[in-house]
Structure 1
Amino acid sequence: MASTPGILTDWPWTPLGSFKYVVLAPWAIHSAYSFMGKATIIDKGLEFEQVDRERNWDDQIIFNGMLFYLGRFLAKCVLPRAKTEIPLWKGDGFVMTMLLHAGPVEYLYYWLHRALHHHFLYSRYHSHHHSSIVTEPITSVTHPFAEHITYFMLFAIPMVATLLIGTASITSYFFYITYIDFMNNMGHCNFEFIPTWIFSIFPPLKYLLYTSSYHSLHHTQFRTNYSLFMPIYDYIYGTMDKSSDALYESSLKKDDDIVVHDANSDFGRSFVIERQHFDNKLRLQTWVIPKYSLQYVLSGQTEAINKLIEQAILEAEEKGVKVISLGLLNQGEGLNSYGGIYVQRNPQLKIKVVDGSSLVVAVILNSIPKGTTQVLITGKLTKIAYALVFSLWQRNIQVATSQEAEYLKLTKSLSSGEGMLVHDRSYAQKIWLVGDELSKKEQLSAPKGTIFVPFFQFPPKQLRKDCYYHCTPAMKIPKSLENVYSCENWLPRRVMSAWRIAGIVYALEGWNEHECGHTMSINDKVWEATLRHGFQPLIITTQTKN
């Protein structure tokens, strides 16, 4: 550190400490999804069973690291020093590595792979790998331990041979290991991106380079396309799948998916992070708005955020998207008038902008136990809060507020319902509807057994061990919604936020109206449609125990 640090002495990400690498995530994610494009090979969705099965993919990294260290140690003990001091580059060793891979490694792997498909070995070992019909990159290393041992022995042939004859180099080792990892991951990524012109320029390449679609057929047909990375051995021994070329070409011609949910992250423009489909009736995507949560509270970022969201809406409009729902921080009164400014700026929009408020209100109303006569509402008042109070009055449920400012705002905005709104600082109510800015003092004032039901996108901090905390407005999704293999924020598996579900329901019902700004749909209509499509309400299960 300089004696008198000046401007820009520290790196911009110094305050992040060990979390500084998070700044690379947006670029990595964006480049990966841009690279993969839309040419998915198998449209069937991934599920959590596969995620659990493949979660130990990094075991092979530990195993390989140990073997490389042991190999280096043994080489120093056995071989002359001249052979263990590997130079940076040796051309003959590089060529030898490629030839040994194309010959012994590919040939032996082909027959090993065919042996693994024999019933005895397949049922005991290789079926674990083939449990993943829809592959992803880490599927490539999801194998039983015994298989990894044999694979390492095969891949070690070029490295050990060049070391023994004195032609090994750091470059050849680096290239070969990188080649194996890249080709293995590429073959299992379920996206086809190798252009046809490569094979047009050099036709024999089809025998030396497999594609993602080529290997995907092995995972769907099982008895074809056994080769490692070079299909030549499938051609020689007659195990090449006859539909390989047709699948390759059709995968590159697939149309884009469509119905969008806007979340938030960081890069220069919105990009796709998830794709799902609903009972073959609806295609869905989740697009990320490139901003961090911190930027949403900075007034100087408001216009930039709105510009990105508006660009995403217009891009979705061009793609023929029917509905776009606004998630997490991408809607708010101060930010964009709950999405209303986009419709005001673009009155010709055919795409329907949905903020999900009506379904959120319906979910909360149906989370309140039957027989409830009074609830307390506290936290920052929003469009949803006002709608909740009005709906509770219609159900003859009295609403109490602990803060005078909240009481005056509600009284001014909602003139009807005389006697149904009270200013009460006793905190005696057992049902609390809580929004943003819920104070620690208020939460600690709640009586034992209180049920906290949030109406904001983020859950309150659980400070009480003797109270119940409902999750943020959300519902269980039906089995017909496929390719859901990650959790949405803090929600449990196969549970989706009401804001996101609302967009799906709007698209399924074909409703030709916006729900943004201060416009809301009829709660009961949205709720009934949501249940009809298989979404199920959650029960309160969270209690912090002593």
Structure 2
Amino acid sequence: MFLVFPFLLFRFAHYQLWISVSRYRTAKGNNRIVDKSLDFEQVDRERSWDDQIVLNGILFYAAGVVLRDQFNMPFFKADGTIITLLLHWGPAEFLYYWLHRALHHHYLYARYHSHHHSSIVTEPNCPFYDYVYGTVDKSTDSLYETTIKREAESPDVVHLTHLTTPDSIYHLPLGFPSLSSKPQASKWYLLFMWPVTLWSVLLTWIYGHAFISERNAFKKLKLQAWVVPKYNMQYFSKWQRETISKLIGEAIQDADKKGAKVLSLGLLNQHEEFSRNIELYIKRHPQLKIKVVDGSSLAAAIVLNCIPKETTQVLLRGRISKDACLLVQALCQKGIQVVTLQEDDYKKLLKYDNKLESNLVPSARYDVKVWLVGDGLTDKEQSKAPKGTLFIPFSIFPPNQIRKDCYYHTTPAMEAPKSVENMHSCEVSSYLFDQNFLIQMEFKKFDSQTMGCALSTTFALFFFITCIIALQSQEMNLWKMNGISMVHGDHSFYFSCIIC
């Protein structure tokens, strides 16, 4: 009886292993048979893939209760194993073959079995009986020879991101669907996964190379998300920065060899120090054709559109990054006063553009109703905000929502076209393409109301539209999508996406 639960855990682990492997192989592209992408409908259909495991557990337990005396058997018995294998290879597979043929009869197929074939998934087969009864498809051998020679897919655009916490491995497309829908929330039961988590951490230390986690498509453009196997804590560690810079450089070179035209830096890969190292790396390798982008203007443009129109004053709090400088510059040009709490922040902003002085106000006031927040905002500072304050993040990660009497905006995002393929979760992303090839992408996942769970990653690739803008609309001064105007300034075209 005590073996029932371990058996169920083993079945879950076995299923999840093959799911992860198949998703990785699908994203990588080599040996792929069908190029059809996933969608929300398929994820909905396959939400209950573990039901039969639960049913097996119930049946095993019921059999254990009824046949309690028969369960007093040794853990392993050689003759029993041989008999089990012979029964599986003989009668069981024979009966499965004919049952499967019966299910493909018009009556059963139309009323029941067609649901099983509505998704493009790996199907079991009975090769021996297929050959015996002549039901092998004539194209089987040629299809095998074609797919075995197919090489990995060459992307047009690569988005390079990284892991955030040890548990973030479960939020990738290779992980669990129910966790992918809530990447910024940790579950208590992940504590019981510590052996797998520890193993994945050790693997990332050993395997020093970016790996593919997701693929997307828009018309003829092929998009991929690559993951640097490093965590936030390693990005903030000085002794790891050289290693991370080397990994990013290798990823750039690999993407260039694969024929990618643009590589976007995501999350902490956009950090100023890494950006400087990447710039030096590109100068040392002038033969690279790929355009490396990190983007700052887009976030500023999106945040600018999030600020209420009647606003005349905002408070800036957080690390003064490139995004913050561009945002403050745009606000001051519009005549909106920007209040800074720190003297150092005030000096840094003036150093960036001394024309900001007229609308840049150093003050110790906290009574401003609109706060633009980045990295470094503390809970203590949030507690000083007046009731009804609107917090609008401009950094990669949103602030902790500790105030129930205030409002928190999502990270910068807008709508994406519905023609995007292989999107099967709700995410928020933002993009920029300008004449200097600057792109920024930021992500936050939402629960799918139509699915109950989402099957995707913290990362997505949707700046394909920016490539189109760059190639076809270099002279545009204004771009409108779904009633939202994308501001044109500093020779930059702004666009962003919400995928739901």
Q: TM-score, normalised by structure 1?
A: 0.65
Query: Does residue 385 of structure 2 align to residue 470 of structure 1?
Result: no
Aligned residues: 404
Match in the other structure for 2:77: 88
Q: 1:374·1:399 contact (CA, 8 Å) conserved in 2?
A: yes
The equivalent position to 1:261 in structure 2, one of 134, 159, 167, is 159
Deviation at 1:506, TM superposition (A): 4.5
After superposition, give the CA deviation of every residue in 1:330-349 in whole Å (9 maximum; x if it has no partner): 12123443843332333332
Structure 1: stretches of 5+ with no match in the other structure = 1-24, 136-187, 189-214, 216-227, 513-520, 539-546
- AA aligned to 1:254 is R
- AA aligned to 1:270 is A
The equivalent position to 2:57 in structure 1, one of 65, 68, 81, is 65
Deviates more, 1:352-361 or 1:379-388: 352-361
Whichever of the two has the greater Rg, that structure is: 1
How far apart, CA to CA, are the structure 2 residues paired with 1:115 and 1:348?
60
- AA aligned to 1:462 is Q
Q: 2:300·2:326 contact (CA, 8 Å) conserved in 1?
A: yes
How far apart, CA to CA, are the structure 1 residues paired with 2:336 and 2:312?
5
Query: Does residue 211 of structure 2 align to residue 271 of structure 1?
Result: yes
After superposition, give the CA deviation of every residue in 1:300-326 in whole Å (9 maximum; x if it has no partner): 101011011101101111111111001
After superposition, give the CA deviation of every residue in 1:94-147 in whole Å (9 maximum; x if it has no partner): 554444333322222122223333455445543432332x22xxxxxxxxxxxx
Deviates more, 1:303-312 or 1:440-449: 440-449
- AA aligned to 1:56 is S
How far apart, CA to CA, are the structure 1 residues paired with 2:96 and 2:458?
50
How far apart, CA to CA, are the structure 1 residues paired with 2:308 and 2:340?
19
1:445-460 mapped onto 2 (5 Å cutoff): 445-460=384-399
- AA aligned to 2:77 is L
Match in the other structure for 1:248: 144
Match in the other structure for 1:504: 464
The equivalent position to 2:317 in structure 1, one of 365, 378, 383, is 378
Structure 2: stretches of 5+ with no match in the other structure = 1-15, 164-203, 428-442, 449-453, 473-486
Match in the other structure for 1:414: 353
How far apart, CA to CA, are the structure 1 residues paired with 2:22 and 2:139?
30
Query: Does residue 102 of structure 2 align to residue 115 of structure 1?
Result: yes
Going from structure 1 to structure 2, the CA distance change for 1:118 and 1:395 (only over 3 Å counts) comes to farther
Q: 1:264·1:291 contact (CA, 8 Å) conserved in 2?
A: yes
1:395-410 mapped onto 2 (5 Å cutoff): 395-410=334-349
Deviation at 1:490, TM superposition (A): 3.6
After superposition, give the CA deviation of every residue in 1:37-89 in whole Å (9 maximum; x if it has no partner): 6222221111233223323322222222233344455555469x8xx447532
- AA aligned to 1:106 is E
Deviation at 1:269, TM superposition (A): 0.9
Structure with the bigger RCO (C-alpha within 8 Å, sep 6+) is 2
- AA aligned to 1:260 is V
Query: Does residue 43 of structure 2 align to residue 51 of structure 1?
Result: yes
SS where residue 445 of structure 2 aligns? coil
Q: 1:107·1:233 contact (CA, 8 Å) conserved in 2?
A: yes
Q: 2:342·2:362 contact (CA, 8 Å) conserved in 1?
A: yes
How far apart, CA to CA, are the structure 1 residues paired with 2:309 and 2:340?
21
Match in the other structure for 2:91: 104
- AA aligned to 2:78 is W
Match in the other structure for 2:272: 333
How far apart, CA to CA, are the structure 1 residues paired with 2:125 and 2:387?
64
SS where residue 449 of structure 1 aligns? coil
The equivalent position to 2:400 in structure 1, one of 461, 465, 469, is 461
SS where residue 267 of structure 2 aligns? coil
CA RMSD across the alignment: 3.6
SS where residue 491 of structure 1 aligns? strand
Deviation at 1:239, TM superposition (A): 3.8
Going from structure 1 to structure 2, the CA distance change for 1:328 and 1:300 (only over 3 Å counts) comes to same
Q: 1:282·1:508 contact (CA, 8 Å) conserved in 2?
A: no
Match in the other structure for 1:492: 446
SS where residue 227 of structure 2 aligns? strand
After superposition, give the CA deviation of every residue in 1:469-525 in whole Å (9 maximum; x if it has no partner): 11112333322221123455642269999996675345434569xxxxxxxx96586
- AA aligned to 1:504 is F
Going from structure 1 to structure 2, the CA distance change for 1:342 and 1:372 (only over 3 Å counts) comes to farther
- AA aligned to 2:209 is R
How far apart, CA to CA, are the structure 2 residues paired with 1:434 and 1:412?
20
SS where residue 250 of structure 2 aligns? helix
Going from structure 1 to structure 2, the CA distance change for 1:50 and 1:30 (only over 3 Å counts) comes to closer
SS where residue 294 of structure 1 aligns? helix
Query: Does residue 365 of structure 2 align to residue 426 of structure 1?
Result: yes
1:268-417 mapped onto 2 (5 Å cutoff): 268-279=208-219, 281-337=220-276, 339-417=278-356
Match in the other structure for 1:207: none
- AA aligned to 1:275 is R
Going from structure 1 to structure 2, the CA distance change for 1:401 and 1:272 (only over 3 Å counts) comes to same
Specify which structure has the higher proportion of strand. 2
Going from structure 1 to structure 2, the CA distance change for 1:525 and 1:371 (only over 3 Å counts) comes to farther
How far apart, CA to CA, are the structure 1 residues paired with 2:390 and 2:284?
41
How far apart, CA to CA, are the structure 1 residues paired with 2:314 and 2:457?
23
How far apart, CA to CA, are the structure 2 residues paired with 1:498 and 1:433?
23
Q: 2:161·2:267 contact (CA, 8 Å) conserved in 1?
A: yes
How far apart, CA to CA, are the structure 2 residues paired with 1:441 and 1:460?
12
Match in the other structure for 1:13: none
Going from structure 1 to structure 2, the CA distance change for 1:115 and 1:29 (only over 3 Å counts) comes to closer
How far apart, CA to CA, are the structure 2 residues paired with 1:31 and 1:124?
29
How far apart, CA to CA, are the structure 2 residues paired with 1:29 and 1:232?
29
Deviation at 1:412, TM superposition (A): 2.6
- AA aligned to 2:150 is K
SS where residue 339 of structure 2 aligns? strand
How far apart, CA to CA, are the structure 1 residues paired with 2:116 and 2:457?
33
After superposition, give the CA deviation of every residue in 1:183-206 in whole Å (9 maximum; x if it has no partner): xxxxx2xxxxxxxxxxxxxxxxxx
